[in-house]
Structure 1
Amino acid sequence: MQNKKLEAIKAEIRAAKAMNAEQLEAYRMKFISKKSVVGELFAEMRNVINEEKKAYGQLINEVKVLAEEKFQELIDKVNSHQKESKSQDIDLTLPPTNISVGGIHPLTATRQRIIEIFERIGFNLSEGPEIEDDWHNFTALNFPENHPAREMQDTFFIEKNPDIALRTHTSSVQVRVMENQKPPIRTLSPGRVYRNEAISARAHCIFHQVEGLYVDENVGFADLKNTLYHFAKEMFGKETKVRFRPSYFPFTEPSAEIDISCQLCGGSGCNVCKGTGWVEIGGSGMVDPNVLENCGIDSKKYTGFAFGMGIERIAMLKYQIKDLRLFTENDVRFLKQFKSML
């Protein structure tokens, strides 16, 4: 009886088939697992008399080996079938699919180019928090309380805390650098800033600035001019002209605004430059001695210059973009024009 039962199980194992993972698992549960048919055969050995146990055990082992070999054979067949199915799903006669490749955002490209230019002449990179306290954003930069200069920049204050605000410029980063580093200091501070302004083609409440600072002994206005001349010609081309106009900023004295010859009309006059042939790109000046003293730097020993530019303004001039809002609207038609900058 036992031999007939074993032969029947062997026959069932040899005839077993599996085409997928579910059928493989069903075979394993029936013939390989501890609670399988083979497992039950081993459990029945306790009912076999001692004289026959050895012979009966050998027969069960033959069934076990046969079940395991068959299981491996079924695994190989299922894997082979799956590979064939995948290869059949691919139609090699179909034309290739055009994969859309993205590009670098024009603001990112402009920021990287500005950093590259100034790093080559010794400026390092510094960053700071976008949520600032009154000291770093205003007071240390020579903005006394209730001073009219504070009204030059409409500020987003944090609710219920008038001493905390979204930074209006990255000059706050320069304050932090001067507080924690001794001269000589030569640093560039790019970053996002916020001002409570109406959004239009020429203004936005969120935009990006890059500000530079150089503090050392015997730093003069000529150093500032030569640095910005170098930047303008590297950024916009060797034929670009630069001029400085007297201006006012609370944290620099003397102060000047920086103009370059219009990139659209070449200086002949157009609607972008309002017929003047010049376009403003930023502000600059010699660091006010009060600012140096506020940051713990001896203003009798050290002098310095600072400058700041809007990255959006530089990008608009560089790529001849006439609407500031295009940078933040995520219009794919606009962004696709800059794929070549990959």
Structure 2
Amino acid sequence: MLTIEQPAARAIFQRQGYNPIPSLRPERGYADIEIRLNLSAALRSDAWIRVQIIPCDPTAEIITVRRVMPAAGRHCITVRVPAGWHRLSAGAGDGTRLLARTPTRLFGVGEVFLIAGQSYADGCNDERLSIQDPRQRVSAYDLTRRRWQAADDPQPGIRDGGTIWPAMADDLLPYLQVPVGWANVAVAATASRQWMPGTTRFERMAGAGSALHQFRAVLWQQGESDVIEQTPADRYVQNLTTIRQALHGRWGFSPAWIPAKSTLHPTVYNNPAGESIIRSAIDRLWRTPGFLPGPDTDLLDGENRGGQQSLRHFSPIGQRRAGRMWAMTLWNHLQNARW
């Protein structure tokens, strides 16, 4: 009789209004969320629909919205929801009678990212990691099934090995104290030219950004294939600048781009000169408006990389360290009130 169409279960919405400056407790922000309900049958003229949002933080206030809506069909209610992890339920009735109630679903307001690049961002690493947060406040968006899910490896839509992203979220959550979400469109063995406008990868990335609606930043972990292809530094900078500008035109907003220095691939090549060219290009991007410095994951050599008998990317300890580097990077950028 009554169903919740939106928000989807485990969805994460990008918060607005975060302010890290207050000394005692930062203003964690909020999101204006459209709650979409479907009532399958008309009720009496005194019928009502009630929406209740219960924060998982016991110190936060419960939000209750009640509307007189006897007509069958879709009903939309926009609610300003504070940053955090929440339980949503809705009920319908007439007079004093409760006639229908929806199952409770979880959703969050926090930080959302779009992940792209090649194999070190993809599921090509040695260990499948799981989110360790007891409340599981981390979600990944599945572009194919159009749904959110727990962000354990294997991640939806990419290769089925391990990634660095659960480690990043686990390190970031204790500081953020708000949920984290992402969509990952990384594709192994891709050079920057293969993400240019007109390619299938560009279109998939454009679709992912649109599906997220709003998100904080693009996390770009890529560069090894450009080392192999001997891409000149000027061309690499131009490629990423072109991709960014074209995507922002599609999305209608301008999230920050955060490229990692990711050029080391010791099981495939030993090319310090080629790595230096792409590292210099990324360094230039870090100083380009619209881009922000990412982690230097090239520092993770030795035990941080798998050997020839592994998946030949990050080892389990390397995955965790790369995730921590990303967490530190994002936390530091979030302390800039202008971001």
Structure (1 or 2) with the larger CA radius of gyration? 1
Q: Which has the higher strand share?
A: 2
Q: How does the TM-score come out when normalised to structure 1?
A: 0.22
Q: Which has the higher helix share?
A: 1
Q: How does the TM-score come out when normalised to structure 2?
A: 0.22
